[in-house]
A and B are shown apart, each in its own frame.
Chain A
Amino acid sequence: MFAFLMWRGIVFSFCSGGLELLCNSVKIHNVNVELQNGAEKLTMKDLLSWIRTNLIKERPEMFMKGDTVRPGVLALVNDCDWELSGQLDTTLEEKDVVVFISTLHGG
């Protein structure tokens, strides 16, 4: 299942492994993320902190650990593992697509 959030053209999507259940299974969210204190760019760190504050109020431990995603969650920026783009420091720009995947084990 996919949940889309809009921020200045950025699409955020939760998919796989029940992550979408953390936001009431709502698939599409249109939101505005304000930049903090005159910051010029939005990073993944900012985005995660915004999601934590505004979106995932119950059981945040199912999505995050500390200021990053919990073990077993992959973050993808433009269909690319965020390990390849700087993890929390990845800069987000207009029309970027962010996807969070929780690994599945069943079969």
Chain B
Amino acid sequence: MDSDRGGEASVILRQLEDLKASKSEIERQISALEAQLREITFQKPNGSVSNGSCPPHIPSVDSGYGHDLSPQMIHRYSRHLLLPSFGVQGQSKLLKSSILVVGAGGLGSPVLLYLAACGVGRLGIIDHDVVELNNMHRQIIHAEGFIGQPKVKSAAAACHSINSTIQVVEYQEPLRTSNALEIMSKYDIVVDATDNAPSRYMISDCCVVIGKPLVSGAAVGLEGQLTVFNYNGGPCYRCLFPTPPPTTACQRCSDAGVLGVVPGVIGCLQALEAIKIASGVGEPLSERMLLFDAFSGRIRNVKIRGRSPQCVVCGENAPFSKQQFQEFDYENFTQSPLTPLPLKLNLLQPDSRINSKEYKEKIVSGEAHVLIDVRPEHHFKIVSLPNSLNIPLPRLEARLPEITSALKEKEDHRGTDSGSGGKVYVICRRGNDSQRAVQYLHKMGFTSAEDIIGGLEGWAHEVDPNVPTY
């Protein structure tokens, strides 16, 4: 009964995966075609792209008090107006400003909530993702009722419910070189609330090409960073990081974890910087970087280099053109995808691999074997298969004797002669580290070691849907 259900679920899951793959390909094609169409429709005679930096629906009529704030606005934003340094002038500029937030996740949530609340005239939200249960602890703009729905839709609804007087523009698509110029050109300020290296380079380069300030934030684990790029002659992202880091150095929240409030803190600070730039009040964090260490409660503010004359995008001899931007391959440059999917390594020969259903059969048939789980200890504590031995990958070398003795124990127990050699199976979260482990085990003489394809996630999808995934 259970295995029937497991089988059914795995068929559905496979179909879902296929459909999702074709969906993303179709979306890519749509995005490219839309960009082509926009170019045809929006192209002005002089070749410039239309730039609606002033929201059309905000009336710029003098209210009779020497400014354009309506009585309603005066009431709503009164605490801003009471700030001597901000006042009517700051609020008025804010109401006329337009800000694009790229990413409606952990960083984007507080950015959008505050920018909507404070009365930014036109707020653009771009994100291709849908709301998931494991987003909820940090992506506080989304409510449970929106699980499975586009983040853009959920975020826009939240922004509207806070402030119905602002214009919210939804872009339910991934930001790519094909649509970035057109979309970003329509805004005064861009906020980078994305989660990957290629997007960060792409957004910064695009801001340089179209001359927009960029508020950039990042958070992983218990740490966050914040800075403002391309502002008032300041540096761009590439001035600071001309060469992309190795992909192994790019931690992601879905692998390394993140304490929910950490992107919240950085997102609030991003909203603050965007508000400062939009209102013309205060000193934006240009040529400086704020480092937040949540673990020790430390915040550092450091001075970083100015615009680099050698920068290939904003430097003296670098007229990085719109065309160059559109043709630049950011995924190849950073060796990582713009819309990150879980890594799927293929290190082993097929005969050294076993899928979770086959492994289930081995258990049922009572084959003598040892199951090694090579995930970190804190992963193992979340969920694990019965009778598995946890040896985290980095500790494998030191703990090989444990595998030998576990194998011996199994053989003794079953009375088989030791010459036949019990099997070693290796499992991890998704089936990558298990392959690395098996490669190593083969080298160390455990030639029969095999890895379980797809790891615990595969097991949950194909064998036992009751095993939680994380």
| A and B held together in a complex | yes
Known contacts A72-B244, A106-B195: A17-B302 contact under CB 8 Å: no
B180 on the interface (CB 8 Å rule)? no
Q: B256 contacts which of A15, A18, A76, A83 (Cβ < 8 Å)?
A: A18
Q: Which of A68-107 contact B (CB under 8 A)?
A: 70-74, 76, 79-81, 83-84, 99, 101-107
B194-228 CB mask vs A (1 if < 8 Å, else 0) is 11110010000000000000000111111111000
Residues of A within 8 A of B302 (CB): 76, 79-81, 99, 101
Q: A16 contacts which of B223, B244, B248, B296 (Cβ < 8 Å)?
A: B223
Q: Which of A1-51 contact B (CB under 8 A)?
A: 1-2, 15-18
B305 on the interface (CB 8 Å rule)? yes
How far, in angstroms, from A57 to B53 measured CA to CA in the complex? 53
Task: Give the bracket for the number of chain A residues in contact with chain B.
Answer: 20 to 34
A67 on the interface (CB 8 Å rule)? no
B300 on the interface (CB 8 Å rule)? yes
Q: A103 contacts which of B241, B242, B252 (Cβ < 8 Å)?
A: B241
Q: Which of B77-85, B102-110, B112-120 contacts A (4 or more CB under 8 A)?
A: B102-110
Q: B218 contacts which of A1, A71, A99, A107 (Cβ < 8 Å)?
A: A107
- B296 in contact with A2 (CB, 8 Å): yes
Shortest distance between the CB of A62 and any CB in chain B (Å)? 6
Q: Which of B240-289 contact A (CB under 8 A)?
A: 240-246, 248-253, 256, 258, 263, 266, 289
- B253 in contact with A104 (CB, 8 Å): no
Q: B305 contacts which of A2, A18, A81 (Cβ < 8 Å)?
A: A81
Shortest distance between the CB of B102 and any CB in chain A (Å)? 10
Interface residues of B (CB under 8 A from A): 103, 105-108, 193-197, 200, 217-225, 240-246, 248-253, 256, 258, 263, 266, 289, 291, 293, 295-296, 298, 300-305
16 contacts between A and B (CB under 8 A): A16-B291, A18-B249, A18-B251, A62-B248, A70-B246, A71-B245, A71-B246, A72-B249, A72-B250, A80-B302, A99-B302, A103-B241, A105-B194, A105-B218, A107-B194, A107-B195
Interface residues of A (CB under 8 A from B): 1-2, 15-18, 61-62, 70-74, 76, 79-81, 83-84, 99, 101-107
